[in-house]
Every structure is written in C-alpha cells, then in structure tokens.
Amino acid sequence: MKSIPIVSKKPSTVAAFRSACDKSGGDFIPVILKEHDAIISYFNYELPEIKILDFGDGDTAAEKIMDVIHADPWLLFGGIIAIVQDNKQKIEMEKQRDPNILLILRRPDFEANTDRILRILTQNKQFLFNRGMQQQMNTNETGSFVSDNDPMDILFYCNLITSYLYNTNRINDEGRAGIQGALMELLLNAVEHGNCKISYDEKTEWLSAGKNMLDLIAQKCRDPAALNKKVYISYDISNLRTRISVRDDGDGFDWRKRLEGELKAGLHGMGIKLAESFVSSVSYNAKGNEASFEIANQRNATNTIPVIMQEQQVLNFEHKQIVCRENETTNDLYYIRSGKYAVYVQRKLVSVLTTNDIFIGEMSFLLNDRRAATIMAIGSGSLVKIPKIEFISLIRQHPHYGIFLSRLLAQRLARQSYQTVQIQGELSRIKQELETIKTPGM
C-alpha cells in the first residue's frame, strides 16, 4: 500500500484521483495537498517516489515545489506526473525536458486516464518503489511491460525506464536523451506499423493533409483486430549494461531492406535510422516484429553532493591512498562523491564500496567506536568529510535528512541480509555435495 500525493486545487481533478485510488483495491492511498508548508513537509518527511503536480490550476504551488526539488535533487528526485491546462502549456513544459517528470497530461486526459495510470504503477511497483536495491545487491533486474496502442501508455513506459536508469546513475543526461529517443522511435513503429498496420503511403497522405497521427492511430484502434494487439517492452539491467527489447503483435517487416536505404529528410520514414543514431546498435528478430538495443552503463559516476553537505570539506584521493585505518579512534563520516574504495579487515579484502553505497564509516560514526576496517582508494576518487559534531548540527537543522539517511542504512542492512542468505545457501549446497562424495566410501 503506497501513498501518492496530489498537489491540486481543482475539485474535478482531485475527485478523479480519489476515485482511481478507490478502484485500485487499496494499493494506493490519495494524499491531497494544497498549502505550501504542508506540501514541503510531506515531501521532506515521506519522500514519495511518485508525485502528481497540477501546473494548470491557476496557482503557483507546483512551480514552487519544482524549485524546491531542483534545489535539492539528491533528496527529492524524480517521479512527477504533471497536469497542465492546455496543449500550449504542455508543449512549453515538454521543451524543458526535466528529468524529474515522467508524464505530462492535459487536465481532461489526466482525469479520463487516471485509472490507467494507477494500473501501470500497480503493475510495476517493484520497479518504481525499490529504486536501486537490486543494483546494490549486484543482481540483474529483469522484467517486462505490456502496453496498449495508446501513445500515452508507451510514452509513460518510455519515461519510466529512462528515468529509472537516470536516477540510479546508470546513464547521464546525454545517455538519457539517447535511450529515450531510440525507445520512442521503436515504440511508435510498433504501434503505427506493427499493430495498426499503417502503411508508408497511408501515413504520408495523412501527414500531408496536416492531420495528427494520434487521430489516425485512434481511428485504426477502433478495429478489434488492432485494438486487441499489444506492445511488449522487456528490460534486462545489470551493473554493467542495459538491454531493452520492443515487440509488437504485427506481421513484421523487411528491416534489412530499410537499413540498407539512405536516411532522407521527409515527413516520416526515418524512425529506424534515427533509433540507430541514438544508440550504438539496434538488432531485429527474423520476423521483424521485435527490435532490441543494448547500452553500457556508466560506472563510478560522480554523485551529486546533498545540499546540507555542500559546505563540508571535499577530500581527493589517489590510487592506494588510505582513507582511514582499522582500530583508529576517528569517527568522521564520509560521503562517496566518486571513485571506488577497498575495505580490508585484518588485511583481508572483504568488500569494495562505490558511489552506490553512499557512505563510508557509518558504523564507527553511529557507535562512537574505533574503525572496524581499513579503507583504501582504488584509483582516484573524492569524498566529502563530515565530522560527527557537524553532522549532528546539520540533522538538527534539517531533521528530514535523518529519516532519509535511516532509510539508506536500512537498505544497506537489507542488502547485507540478502548477501548472508546467499552465502548460507551456497555453504549448504557445498556441504551437501561433500556429504554425497563421502557416502560411497563409508
């Protein structure tokens, strides 16, 4: 059960959202926020992954909230569904390409499709609400989405995937734009040409008449043969790379012939070549109704320094330089801005910390104890040093950070518990194998 806040003063919008939450079977609880102080307090202390902001209700609350989010992106990143009043406002907001926004909808579209939006969130709660846990556990994240032919659905799924990769440091701004461009081209091709069977000539005639492709797709989907077809999006995300596939229920096409042709400017017909221009390679199945691409994830990316830590000392480390030594009495906390760091206990390597681990030295920091391990830089990197007395003062001034940091520590404990279970399972398996080997000779 998840609470989703909506910042809006429009009764019809709030009513549509309440109704959709009621129909979700208790999966989502609506939180209606109107006053600025209440909104900031809720966002800071509850840290909601999904937020609905109404930019078209004539108030400035949504814009002020965005200013707060932009001022402290480390704490309040991502997951915004934006409501606007009309197409003009929608186009203006789309031009901003804000990485925090998942979807931009005109008010009538939001109110008519709230059930569908929550259904998508319901089907992908683990993908949305456990950000980074699989990454920290060094396990692959695999899954799939099944989308209708509605362009709103495929845009939502496209933004969900790219925002997730961006917010978990797998891609940077440039990579986000590239994946978003490639994925949208493949998804639109799947809907238009795959499921709706819109031919090249038919699309040319339609666009030449100045008509909107969304209207042609809607017209085609009135035919049950197209209406019941789906678009399948699958992902396989590891720490090293991301692979995404798009498949439709159409008859496929001769992709070899299309790839051999030259890229020519026109009303359309450039989707395949454009997709390849966004990512390094796109491959197709033999039938031509499935396309896949793979990208290398960025590694050891630089973490954004949280606002409350920006005045603290930044330390730069070279390869094999010691951060702290086992049994030292120091208890400073270190925020990992960049680099990798080896953890040695009694001169044995026990783990390697990266930017995904966020902090170094939290045990001695919290327990006021000696250092439990020696930490050594692997390659170059930088850390933000936070003396304990400074950190306590910062938390007093910004108590909501204490809640967020507690969540991070809880995640680390969950990861360690997961790893312990994995090790115990492996030991049990080895023990059984050894007993099996001993049995014949006894």
| pLDDT per position as a tens digit, 278-287 | 676 788 898 9
- Both tokens assigned to 49: 């992954």
Please answer whether residues 112 and 90 qualify as being in contact, where contact means their C-beta atoms are separated by less than 8 angstroms: no
**pLDDT of 246 strictly over 90:** yes
- Same structural domain for residues 136 and 264? yes
- Same structural domain for residues 331 and 431? no
Instruction: Pick 438 or 434 by higher pLDDT.
Output: 434
Q: What angle do CA 158, 163, 168 make, to 5 degrees?
A: 135
- Same structural domain for residues 180 and 326? no
Mark which of 123, 154, 175 sits at the end of a domain: 123
> Residue 131: what pLDDT?
46
- Same structural domain for residues 139 and 276? yes
- Please count the CA atoms within 13 angstroms of the CA of 396 that sit on its side-chain side: 6
- Same structural domain for residues 10 and 113? yes
Confidence band for 440, pLDDT divided at 50, 70 and 90: low
**pLDDT of 165 strictly over 60:** yes
Mark which of 276, 299, 322 sits at the end of a domain: 299
- For the purposes of burial, counting CB atoms within 10 Å of the CB of 179, is it exposed (0-12), middle (13-18) or buried (19 or more)? buried
**How confident is the prediction for the chain on average, in pLDDT?**
82
3-state secondary structure of 6: strand
Instruction: Pick 197 or 419 by higher pLDDT.
Output: 197
| Euclidean distance between CA atoms 144 and 157, whole angstroms | 10
> In angstroms, how far apart are the furthest CA atoms of the chain?
86
Strand partners, 54: 83
- Same structural domain for residues 136 and 258? yes
> Residue 133: what pLDDT?
42
CATH number at residue 369: 2.60.120.10
**pLDDT of 130 strictly over 50:** no
- Both tokens assigned to 251: 């008859």
The closest alpha carbon to 356, from 200, 246, 239, belongs to 239
Mark which of 70, 105, 123 sits at the end of a domain: 123
> Residue 135: what pLDDT?
47
The DSSP code sequence of 314-336 is: EEEE-TT-EEE-TT-----EEEE
- Both tokens assigned to 140: 């692959």
- Same structural domain for residues 133 and 268? yes
- Same structural domain for residues 247 and 339? no
Instruction: Pick 74 or 306 by higher pLDDT.
Output: 306
Q: Which domain holds residue 169?
A: 127-299
Dump pLDDT digits (tens) for 89-113.
998 988 888 878 888 999 999 999 9
The closest alpha carbon to 5, from 30, 25, 27, 40, belongs to 30
**Each residue of 330-369: b (16+ CB within 10 Å) or e?**
ebbbbbbbbbbbbbbeeeeeeeebbbbbbbbbbebbeeee
Confidence band for 343, pLDDT divided at 50, 70 and 90: very high
- Specify the pTM: 0.71
Range list of H helices, 361-398 = 362-367, 388-397
- Same structural domain for residues 103 and 134? no
| Euclidean distance between CA atoms 375 and 345, whole angstroms | 9
Please answer whether residues 62 and 7 qualify as being in contact, where contact means their C-beta atoms are separated by less than 8 angstroms: yes
**pLDDT of 121 strictly over 70:** yes
Strand partners, 340: 378
Instruction: Measure CA 407 to chain center.
Output: 18
- Same structural domain for residues 371 and 255? no
- Same structural domain for residues 161 and 283? yes
Mean pLDDT on 362-372:
78
Q: What percent of the chain has pLDDT over 90?
A: 26
In sequence order, the 6+-apart residues with CB closer than 8 A to the CB of 222 are none
Please answer whether residues 100 and 93 qualify as being in contact, where contact means their C-beta atoms are separated by less than 8 angstroms: no
| Euclidean distance between CA atoms 326 and 146, whole angstroms | 51
Name the domain count of the chain.
4
- Both tokens assigned to 48: 């909601």
| Euclidean distance between CA atoms 259 and 183, whole angstroms | 17
CATH number at residue 171: 3.30.565.10
How far is residue 115 from each of residues 18, 22, 112, 127, 408, measured CA to CA in Å? 10, 10, 8, 19, 32
3-state secondary structure of 93: helix
CATH number at residue 96: 3.40.50.2300
- Same structural domain for residues 157 and 275? yes
| Euclidean distance between CA atoms 354 and 195, whole angstroms | 44
**pLDDT of 239 strictly over 90:** no
